[in-house]
C-alpha cells in the first residue's frame, strides 16, 4: 500500500501514486486523477444520496472533516449529483451516478470499493458499515491519516491534494473482529480502525456493533441454580455420583432442562431484538456431567464436546423458527476443546475455539502448540462458522513485559487460513496502563481487518508514529525482550509468573538502558515523554515483583544496582506513575489499590 510521507508542507499539488490492492474492476476506464483541494480551497465536492442510511451520511461527514483537517478546505456534503467530474461519491446510492458504479447488491457485508471513475472518486461498501470503512480506508491508504489511539493520531497537512488512479475492492475475511483491550473500547477509535465486536465497535451512527444475547459462560445465566437446583437437581452435573451446582455444569442429556433453557432464552431474545448471536456456553470451570446418559454420549463422540454440541444443536433448532437471524454461540474450551467424532454444528451454530492453554512465545502452528493446532484443524473441517477466542495479555500481571508481539500477525493469518470467520483477541480489558496496550490494540485492529499485512512493519509504523523521536530505542527495548524470551525457553502463557526466566537481571538492566535512551530522545515533547514513561511501568513492576532475588543476583555477580536502594522507594515511584496513568487493575483479579495495600505484592 502507498502511504503519504509524514512530514513537511508543500505548496504545489500532490499527485498520489497508483494504488492497486485488487485488480481493476470491469472494463470501463479509470480516471487519471481527481483534484480534491488546491492551495487550501476545495476543488471536489462530497455527494451522498438523498435517503441514504445514517451510517453513509455519517461517512460523508467524516470524509469532509478529515479532508478539512488535511487540506484546510471546507467540503460541504450535498445530495445533488451535479455534473460528472470532481465528485466524491459516498455510498452505493451516490456511486450509482458514476459511469462504472458498484452494484450495491453485489457487495458483501462490509466489503469496500474505493476507485476513481471518469474524474470522480467512488467510496462505497456493503452494509451496515462498508461505506464508512471505505472512507477510512481511503483516508488511511491514500491520504495518510492514522488513528493510533483515541487521543493520538497522525494527520498530514496537504493544502493541495490530488488523487491519482485508485482501484480498491476488498472484502474482509473475518465477519467478527474484536481487539478486546481497554484502550480499544472507544467507539470512535474502533470504527476508524474497523473493529466491529461487542465492545470494540461503533455507536449507531457508525453502524453499531455485534449484538449478543449473553456473551460467554451462560449456562447458569439461563438456568440459575438458586432458582432451579432445589426442584430439579437432575438438571445439573452429576459428579462422583452426586448432583451438584458448585463448580459444575448442566446435565446436557436432560430433555426437560433443554426445554426450560429454550423458554428462558426465547424470553431474553424477545427482550433483545438487536441480538444476532446468543450464547449457550459452559461455565468457566470444569465439572461436566458424568451421569450415565452424558457419559455414553461423550464416549461415543470421543469427549465432552459431543454432549455439548448435540445439546447446542438442539437448542439452535428449537429457536430457529422464531429467530431465524440468530445464531447460537458456544465454546470449545478446556475440556470441550477437542472436536467430536460424529456431531457437526448446525448452520446456525458458532463454535468459539479457545487457545487458553497455549504458549504465546511461539506461533500457534508451532510444535509447542500441537494439541491446539490439531483441534483447530479438526474444528475447521466441520464448523461452518468457527470463531476463535485468543489471548494476548498476561492476566496474572497486566503490567509486566509480555513479548508476544511477533506472533500476533502469524496467528491471525493461521486462523483465516483455517476458515475461521471471527476472532476475539482478549487483552487487558479492565484498566489503562497495561503493557504496550496501545500498540497491541492498533496492530490487532489492522490485522483483523486485513491479515495480509506485515506484523513487523505495522509495529515499526506504530512506534514511529506514537513515540516519534523515541521510536528507535523503543524498538530496541521490545526486540531485547523478544531475544530474552527466545533464549529462555519460557512458554509465555496468559498466566505467566513474575519469576519468568526471561525477566533476568541482565534483561532488566538492558531494558532500563533502552528506556532511558527513549526518554532522552523524547525529552523535548511532554507528550512523547509521557508515552515513554507509561511504557516504562512494566519494567519497574518486574523489578518490584522479584526484588529480593534480583538484589541477591546483583550482589553475587558484583553488578551495580541501578534502581533505588529500597523497595519502598521504587514502589512509591511506581505508584505515583501508575496513578498519573489511571491504572486501576494490576491483574485480572487484583486492583492497584489492593496491590499497593499489600506492599506491591500479588495475591
Q: Kindly report the three-state secondary structure assignment for every residue of 507-534.
A: HHHHHHHHHHHHHHHCCCCHHHHHHHHH
List CB contacts of 363: < 8 A, sequence separation 6 or more.
369, 407, 410, 411, 414
End-to-end C-alpha distance for the chain, whole angstroms: 48
Maximum separation of any 2 CA atoms in the chain, in Å: 82
pLDDT computed for residue 14 by the predictor: 34
Neighbours of 225 (CB within 10 A): 18
CA nearest 37: which of 75, 76, 90, 91? 75
Q: Say if residues 435 and 402 touch (Cβ distance below 8 Å).
A: yes
pLDDT computed for residue 100 by the predictor: 63
**DSSP bridge pairs for 168:** 114
DSSP for residue 101: P
Distance of alpha carbon 119 from alpha carbon 134, whole angstroms: 18
Which H/E stretch holds residue 410? Answer: helix 408-417
pLDDT computed for residue 101 by the predictor: 67
pLDDT computed for residue 559 by the predictor: 95
Q: Which residue has the cell 498466566?
A: 495
Distance of alpha carbon 178 from alpha carbon 444, whole angstroms: 8
Distance of alpha carbon 89 from alpha carbon 100, whole angstroms: 12
CA 20 to chain CA centroid, nearest Å: 26
Distance of alpha carbon 91 from alpha carbon 98, whole angstroms: 11
Cα-based torsion angle of the residue sequence 501, 506, 509, 514 in order, rounded to the nearest 10 degrees: -90
Which residues of the chain register pLDDT less than 50?
A: 1-30
Distance of alpha carbon 210 from alpha carbon 389, whole angstroms: 15
pLDDT computed for residue 154 by the predictor: 97
E strand intervals along 22-92: 33-38, 41-42, 45-48, 77-78, 87-90
**DSSP bridge pairs for 88:** 46, 121
pLDDT computed for residue 438 by the predictor: 98
What structural domains does the chain harbor? Answer: 19-170 (3.30.379.10), 176-450 (3.20.20)
CA 42 to chain CA centroid, nearest Å: 36
**Three-state SS across 309-368?**
HHHHHHHHHHHHCCCCCCEEEEEECHHHCCCCCCCCCCCCEEEEEECCCCCCCCCCCCHH
Distance of alpha carbon 375 from alpha carbon 385, whole angstroms: 15
Residues across the chain: 603
Per DSSP bridges, beta strands 385-391 and 420-426 are: parallel
Number of H helices, E strands in the chain: 19, 21
List CB contacts of 356: < 8 A, sequence separation 6 or more.
333, 334, 389, 391, 494
pLDDT computed for residue 104 by the predictor: 72
Distances (CA, A) of 241 to 220, 236, 237, 402, 552: 21, 12, 9, 43, 52
Distances (CA, A) of 396 to 119, 217, 298, 368, 431: 56, 20, 33, 22, 14
List CB contacts of 324: < 8 A, sequence separation 6 or more.
none
Q: Say if residues 196 and 146 touch (Cβ distance below 8 Å).
A: no
Distance of alpha carbon 311 from alpha carbon 308, whole angstroms: 5
Q: Say if residues 397 and 545 touch (Cβ distance below 8 Å).
A: yes
Per DSSP bridges, beta strands 277-279 and 212-213 are: parallel
Exposed, middle or buried, 230 (CB in 10 Å: 0-12/13-18/19+)?
exposed
**DSSP bridge pairs for 353:** 332, 388
User: Cell triple for residue 594?
Assistant: 489492593
Distances (CA, A) of 163 to 32, 37, 126: 8, 10, 23
Q: Pinpoint the alpha helices (H) of 239-335.
A: 255-271, 292-301, 305-320
List CB contacts of 254: < 8 A, sequence separation 6 or more.
234, 235, 293
Amino acid at each position: 500500500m502507498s502511504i503519504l510521507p509524514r512530514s513537511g508542507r508543500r505548496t504545489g499539488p500532490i499527485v498520489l501514486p497508483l494504488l492497486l490492492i485488487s485488480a481493476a474492476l470491469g472494463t470501463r476506464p479509470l480516471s487519471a486523477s481527481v483534484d480534491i483541494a488546491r492551495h487550501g480551497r476545495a476543488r471536489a465536492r462530497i455527494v451522498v444520496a438523498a435517503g441514504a442510511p445514517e451510517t453513509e451520511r455519517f461517512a460523508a461527514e467524516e470524509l469532509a472533516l478529515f479532508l478539512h483537517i488535511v487540506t484546510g478546505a471546507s467540503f460541504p456534503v450535498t445530495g445533488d449529483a451535479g455534473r460528472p467530474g470532481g465528485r466524491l461519491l459516498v455510498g452505493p446510492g451516490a456511486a450509482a451516478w458514476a459511469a462504472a458504479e458498484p452494484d450495491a447488491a453485489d457487495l458483501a457485508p462490509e466489503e469496500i470499493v474505493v476507485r476513481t471513475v471518469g474524474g470522480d472518486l467512488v467510496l462505497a461498501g456493503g452494509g451496515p458499515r462498508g461505506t464508512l470503512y471505505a472512507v477510512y480506508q481511503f483516508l488511511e491508504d491514500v491520504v495518510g491519516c492514522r488513528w493510533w489511539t483515541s487521543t493520538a493520531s497522525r494527520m498530514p497537512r496537504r493544502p493541495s491534494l490530488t488523487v491519482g488512479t485508485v482501484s480498491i475492492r476488498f472484502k474482509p475475511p473475518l465477519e467478527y473482529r474484536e481487539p478486546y483491550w481497554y484502550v480499544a473500547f472507544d467507539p470512535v477509535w474502533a470504527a476508524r480502525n474497523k473493529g466491529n465486536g461487542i465492545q470494540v465497535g461503533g455507536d449507531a451512527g457508525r453502524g453499531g456493533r455485534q449484538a449478543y444475547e449473553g456473551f460467554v459462560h451462560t449456562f447458569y445465566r439461563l438456568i440459575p441454580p438458586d432458582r432451579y437446583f432445589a426442584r430439579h437437581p437432575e438438571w445439573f452435573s452429576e459428579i462422583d455420583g452426586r448432583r451438584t451446582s458448585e463448580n459444575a455444569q448442566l446435565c446436557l442429556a436432560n430433555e426437560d432442562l433443554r426445554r426450560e433453557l429454550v423458554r428462558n432464552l426465547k424470553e431474553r431474545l424477545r427482550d433483545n431484538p438487536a441480538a444476532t448471536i446468543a450464547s449457550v456456553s459452559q461455565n468457566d470451570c470444569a465439572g461436566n456431567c458424568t451421569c450415565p446418559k452424558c457419559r455414553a454420549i461423550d464416549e461415543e463422540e470421543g469427549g465432552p464436546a459431543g454432549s455439548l454440541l448435540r445439546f447446542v444443536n438442539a437448542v439452535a433448532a428449537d429457536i430457529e423458527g422464531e429467530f431465524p437471524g440468530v445464531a447460537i454461540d458456544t465454546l470449545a474450551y478446556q475440556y470441550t476443546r477437542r472436536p467430536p467424532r460424529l456431531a457437526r454444528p448446525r448452520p446456525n451454530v458458532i463454535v468459539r475455539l479457545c487457545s487458553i492453554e497455549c504458549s504465546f512465545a511461539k506461533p500457534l502452528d508451532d510444535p509447542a502448540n500441537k494439541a491446539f493446532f490439531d483441534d483447530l484443524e479438526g474444528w475447521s473441517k466441520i464448523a461452518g462458522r468457527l470463531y476463535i477466542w485468543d489471548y494476548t495479555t498476561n492476566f496474572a500481571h497486566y503490567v509486566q513485559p509480555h513479548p508476544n508481539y511477533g506472533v500476533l500477525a502469524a496467528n491471525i493469518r493461521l486462523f483465516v487460513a483455517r476458515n475461521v470467520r471471527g476472532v476475539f483477541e482478549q487483552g487487558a480489558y479492565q484498566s489503562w496502563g497495561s503493557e504496550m496496550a496501545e500498540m497491541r490494540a492498533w496492530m490487532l485492529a489492522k490485522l483483523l481487518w486485513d491479515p495480509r499485512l506485515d506484523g513487523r512493519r505495522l509495529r515499526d509504523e506504530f512506534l514511529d508514529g506514537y513515540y516519534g523521536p523515541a521510536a528507535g530505542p523503543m524498538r530496541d527495548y521490545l526486540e531485547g525482550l523478544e531475544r530474552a524470551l527466545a533464549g529462555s525457553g519460557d512458554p509465555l502463557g496468559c498466566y505467566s509468573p513474575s519469576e519468568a526466566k526471561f525477566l533476568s537481571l541482565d534483561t532488566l538492566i538492558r531494558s532500563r538502558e533502552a528506556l532511558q535512551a527513549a526518554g532522552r530522545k523524547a525529552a523535548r515533547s511532554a507528550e512523547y515523554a509521557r508515552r515513554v514513561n507509561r511504557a516504562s511501568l512494566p519494567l519497574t513492576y518486574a523489578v518490584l515483583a522479584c526484588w529480593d532475588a534480583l538484589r541477591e543476583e546483583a550482589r553475587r555477580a558484583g553488578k551495580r544496582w541501578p534502581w533505588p536502594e529500597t523497595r519502598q522507594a521504587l514502589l512509591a515511584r511506581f505508584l505515583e506513575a501508575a496513578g498519573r496513568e489511571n491504572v486501576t487493575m494490576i491483574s485480572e483479579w487484583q486492583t492497584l489499590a489492593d496491590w499497593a495495600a499489600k506492599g506491591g505484592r500479588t495475591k
